[in-house]
């Protein structure tokens, strides 16, 4: 015989099956429910009907409602999670199931960074479910993230950058120079509008909501970028097309979207295949720090919100290490030179000691 329990919430009786024939387990079940009531929690007797699919839909709805720019990536993560968890009831999803998912993805040779994104999506789903009224999730299992060792470390030396830029199609030259100088993300550059540019004060501004970290920022343009934007503005006027975006495609009909083929071809042509456009962002940060720009200012320009991410991008090259060794040698030589002028004669010391 399966035991049922009865308890009260706000003066109203609630009845629920314990789904057990063991008396002690039924008593423990009732104690848990009464503890929830004491804490002000409303026991949800329908939790055993909530499936993983319900949580995944709520998760994607949250992305769409809040206009999150990484919706496409979230949808990819959800697809992999759904393929594994399927119609599983949420009450059955515990830490052991999460571990099996990790093993499953590792078995498919998926990188730790990708698995972590999927685990972060899973944790967000469960937390959203727990925040619902009434709750769809009774408890959120512990989800440990994996150690990530596949952080990219690509960057351009200045000669490499100019070589690639020189062989790119003309419509891409200004855009890649802007990336090299500012460290902005590709989506921020290709989405830059003329309304964001102040050609009188030579600044460009991204408003909050136009950036990945939802924070606005302003960048002052150096002489090279001033010349690039001035030329693009004059070309816009001459064409008679009041284009919205600063960096346009080869036909001048829309903003730049895909240029992977042109980029890959240019890198191969100058003998540095495998370089990524995102390497320009890392390079810009390193160049700013090398030039003596305070790191907090460099973070403002590039749009880095956290110190940990900024440190990953501020890559030290072998040339940096060589320069550090040379500076240390110069310092020690200068110190040694100063100290040699202070050596006293031994006999003088001996006489004074008598």
**pLDDT tens per residue, range 261-291:** 999 999 999 999 999 999 998 888 888 888 8
Q: Which of residues 193 and 304 earns the better pLDDT score?
A: 193
Per-residue confidence band for 332, with pLDDT thresholds at 50, 70 and 90: confident
Distance CA 263, CA 260 (A): 5
Q: Is residue 324 part of a domain?
A: no
How does the average pLDDT of the chain come out, rounded?
A: 83
**pLDDT tens per residue, range 108-164:** 999 888 999 999 999 999 999 988 877 888 788 899 999 876 555 688 999 999 999
* pLDDT (0 to 100) of residue 303: 75
Q: Is residue 147 part of a domain?
A: no
Cα–Cα–Cα angle for 137, 141, 143, rounded to 5 degrees:
130
pTM: 0.56
Q: Is residue 194 part of a domain?
A: yes
Q: Is residue 254 part of a domain?
A: yes
Do 175 and 191 lie in a common domain?
Answer: yes
Do 32 and 87 lie in a common domain?
Answer: no
Do 236 and 281 lie in a common domain?
Answer: yes
Do 58 and 107 lie in a common domain?
Answer: yes
Do 204 and 280 lie in a common domain?
Answer: yes
Q: Is residue 209 part of a domain?
A: yes
b/e burial code for range 97-132 (CB count within 10 A of at least 16 → b) = ebeebbeebeeeeeebebbbbbbebbbbbbebbeee
Q: Is residue 338 part of a domain?
A: no
Of the three residues 131, 147, 172, the one that is the final residue of a domain is 131
Q: What distance lies between CA 319 and its chain's CA centroid?
A: 28
Do 68 and 190 lie in a common domain?
Answer: no
Q: List beta partners, residue 197.
A: 204
Nearest Cα to 247, choosing from 174, 320, 185?
174
Distance CA 172, CA 256 (A): 8
**Residue with tokens 């706000």, as numbered in its chain:** 10
* pLDDT (0 to 100) of residue 311: 64
Distance CA 191, CA 247 (A): 8
Number of domains within the chain: 3
Are 275 and 164 in contact by the 8 Å Cβ rule? The answer is yes
**pLDDT tens per residue, range 220-237:** 899 999 999 999 999 999
Distance CA 152, CA 154 (A): 6
Do 295 and 176 lie in a common domain?
Answer: yes
Q: Is residue 261 part of a domain?
A: yes
Do 165 and 303 lie in a common domain?
Answer: yes
Do 172 and 219 lie in a common domain?
Answer: yes
Give me the CATH number covering residue 124: 1.10.150
In the chain, count of helices (H) and strands (E)? Answer: 15, 5
Give me the CATH number covering residue 252: 1.10.443.10
* pLDDT (0 to 100) of residue 104: 95
Of the three residues 81, 113, 131, the one that is the final residue of a domain is 131
Instruction: Give me 312's structure tokens.
Output: 């990953």
Do 28 and 55 lie in a common domain?
Answer: no
Distance CA 164, CA 180 (A): 12
Q: Is residue 343 part of a domain?
A: no
Distance CA 312, CA 8 (A): 55
Burial class (CB in 10 A: 0-12, 13-18, 19+), 93: buried
Do 38 and 55 lie in a common domain?
Answer: no
Q: Which residues contact 140 (CB under 8 A, 6 or more apart)?
A: 123, 126, 127, 130
Do 126 and 249 lie in a common domain?
Answer: no
- Give the residue numbers spanning the domain of 29: 4-42
Q: What is the mean pLDDT of residues 72-92?
A: 91
**pLDDT tens per residue, range 199-210:** 999 999 987 655
């Amino acid at each position: 015989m399966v035991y049922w329990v009865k308890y009260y919430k706000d003066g109203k009786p609630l009845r629920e099956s314990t789904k057990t024939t063991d008396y002690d387990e039924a008593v423990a079940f009732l104690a848990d429910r009464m503890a929830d009531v004491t804490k002000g929690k409303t026991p949800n007797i329908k939790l055993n009907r909530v499936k993983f699919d319900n949580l995944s839909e709520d998760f994607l709805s949250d992305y769409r409602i809040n206009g999150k720019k990484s919706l496409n990536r979230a949808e990819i993560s959800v697809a992999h999670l759904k393929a594994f968890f399927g119609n599983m009831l949420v009450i059955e999803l515990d830490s052991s199931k999460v571990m099996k998912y990790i093993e499953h993805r590792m078995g498919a040779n998926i990188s730790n960074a990708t698995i972590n994104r999927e685990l972060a999506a899973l944790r967000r789903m469960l937390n959203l479910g727990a925040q619902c009224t009434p709750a769809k999730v009774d408890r959120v299992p512990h989800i440990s993230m994996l150690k990530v060792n596949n952080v990219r470390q690509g960057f351009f030396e200045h000669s490499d950058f100019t070589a690639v830029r020189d062989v790119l199609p003309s419509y891409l030259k200004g855009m890649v120079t802007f990336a090299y100088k500012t460290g902005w993300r590709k989506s921020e550059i290709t989405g830059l509008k003329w309304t964001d540019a102040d050609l009188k004060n030579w600044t460009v501004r991204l408003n909050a909501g136009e950036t990945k970290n939802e924070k606005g920022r302003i960048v002052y343009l150096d002489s090279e970028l001033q010349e690039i934007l001035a030329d693009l503005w004059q070309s816009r006027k001459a064409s008679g097309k009041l284009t919205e975006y600063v960096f346009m495609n080869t036909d001048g009909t829309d903003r730049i979207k895909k240029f992977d083929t042109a980029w890959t071809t240019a890198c191969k042509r100058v003998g540095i295949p495998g370089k990524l456009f995102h390497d320009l962002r890392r390079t810009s940060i390193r160049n700013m720090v090398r030039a003596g720009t305070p790191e907090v200012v460099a973070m403002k320009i590039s749009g880095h919100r956290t110190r940990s991410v900024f440190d990953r991008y501020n890559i030290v090259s072998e040339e940096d290490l060589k320069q550090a060794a040379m500076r240390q040698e110069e310092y020690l030589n200068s110190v040694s030179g100063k100290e040699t002028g202070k050596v006293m004669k031994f006999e003088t010391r001996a006489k004074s000691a008598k």
